[in-house]
Amino acid sequence: MGLHAFFVFDAFTEFFSALTALFVAYYSLKAYKILDDSRMISLNLGFSVLGVGMLIHGAVKVRIALAVLSGVAVPPARRLPLVRLGYTIAFATELAAYALIFLSTMRRPPSTEAALVPPLVTPLIEYDFRSEGLLAALALLIAIKAGISYAQGDSRLAGLVSLGFALLAAAHLLLVFGGPLKLVAADVTRLLGFACLLWMVIRVSRVRA
Amino acid sequence: MTARQRYRSKMRICYDMLRVIQEEGGEAGPTRILYGANLSYERLKRYLAELIEKGLIEEVERDGKRIYRLTDSGRMFIIHFRKMTEFAKAFGMIL
């Protein structure tokens, strides 16, 4: 895959992921109105934050892609302040979103667990193991929680959520190891993860009485 | 059964009442709803009034007896409630 194609694909996956996250957020809000369960607000907030963060990151990627396509000499991505800003926003929003989504799946979000999140925040280094590893761990926790629900037979759709977040965790880990091929693999993995969440919402919309 | 599982939200109680009426073929008397939705008489009266006010059921008289009939809005509420319950369960949430 050429550099131009990679930037376009990278931006496309970011926007697809963002729109899917916002779609899930919209469904969470609908669920709150009908079920009157406050955990749905946390879920809505989590996916909204995730979607907005990805939209901003996607816009940054489009800006870089346009620069590359117009032939402007672009320094290595990690040295660009715009890329660092985009990553910082994406990291902060993803961290907050995953924590909110995980806590929303608890029966009662315990204050002790909520308090554990800030000390876990490590110094932010782009595409570093600590940053991406933390996001992968949180995504994996959500995948495990949904996976348990699926294994217990509570919901078949929980399997899609579990697979989706497991793929998101894998995508974060793939970013750590760098290399152009791994970056493409991370993008594809994340795309598949959000496709699972989108498929879950589509399946929910087909539920009949 | 835990305390959390025993607790039913107001919307859940409304859904249970509507489900009982639906299972009875779209019409049910107050006693059937009371037992089916596991409610006290006072709560039954309060929730029936609320469901009528929201247009989810309507009260009709038949052979001198009061019965409650599910409206189209009530049927839609049941569908939406089931969809959103599935959505919540997909994230491992116990309702």
Sequential pLDDT tens for chain B (95 residues)? 444 445 678 899 999 999 999 999 999 999 999 999 999 999 999 999 999 999 999 999 988 899 999 999 999 999 999 999 999 999 988 76
At residue A116, the pLDDT reads 46
At residue A118, the pLDDT reads 47
- Decide if A155 and B95 are in contact by the 8 Å CB cutoff: no
Residue A202: count of CB within 10 angstroms of its CB = 11
* Closest chain B residue by Cα to residue A41: B88
- Decide if B93 and A39 are in contact by the 8 Å CB cutoff: yes
List, for residues A68-107, the tens digit of each pLDDT value. Answer: 777 776 666 566 777 778 888 888 888 889 999 988 887 6
Using the predicted structure, report yes or no on whether residue A45 has a pLDDT greater than 80: yes
Residues of B within 8 A of A161 (CB-CB) are 90-92
Q: Establish if B6 touches chain A: CB-CB under 8 angstroms.
A: no
Q: How far is B47 from chain A (nearest CA, A)?
A: 16
Contact A102, A55 (CB under 8 A): no
At residue A119, the pLDDT reads 45
Nearest alpha carbon to residue A147 among A156, A157, A137, A158 = A158
Question: What does the mean pLDDT of chain A come to?
Answer: 83
Q: Establish if B7 touches chain A: CB-CB under 8 angstroms.
A: no
The β-bridge partners of B60 are: B67
Using the predicted structure, report yes or no on whether residue A41 has a pLDDT greater than 80: yes
At residue B20, the pLDDT reads 96
Whole-prediction pTM: 0.83
Using the predicted structure, report yes or no on whether residue A3 has a pLDDT greater than 80: no
Residues of B within 8 A of A208 (CB-CB) are 79, 82
Residues of A within 8 A of B89 (CB-CB) are 149, 154-155, 157-158
List, for residues A53-71, the tens digit of each pLDDT value. Answer: 999 988 888 887 787 777 7
pLDDT band for position A184 (cuts 50, 70, 90):
confident
At residue A195, the pLDDT reads 96
ipTM of predicted complex: 0.81
Q: Establish if A101 touches chain B: CB-CB under 8 angstroms.
A: yes
| Domains contained in chain B, CATH given | 9-90 (1.10.10.10)
Find the Cα–Cα–Cα–Cα dihedral B10, B12, B16, B17, rounded to 10°: 20
At residue B82, the pLDDT reads 93
At residue A7, the pLDDT reads 78
Alpha helices in A70-154 (DSSP H): 81-104, 111-120, 129-151
Contact A100, A42 (CB under 8 A): yes
In whole angstroms, give the CA distance from residue A128 to residue B5.
42
**Helices then strands, each counted (H, E), chain B:** 5, 3
List, for residues A106-162, the tens digit of each pLDDT value. Answer: 765 545 445 445 444 445 555 667 778 889 999 999 999 999 989 988 788 999 999
Residues of B within 8 A of A107 (CB-CB) are 4, 94
Using the predicted structure, report yes or no on whether residue A169 has a pLDDT greater than 60: yes
What's the whole-number mean pLDDT along residues A20-31?
A: 95
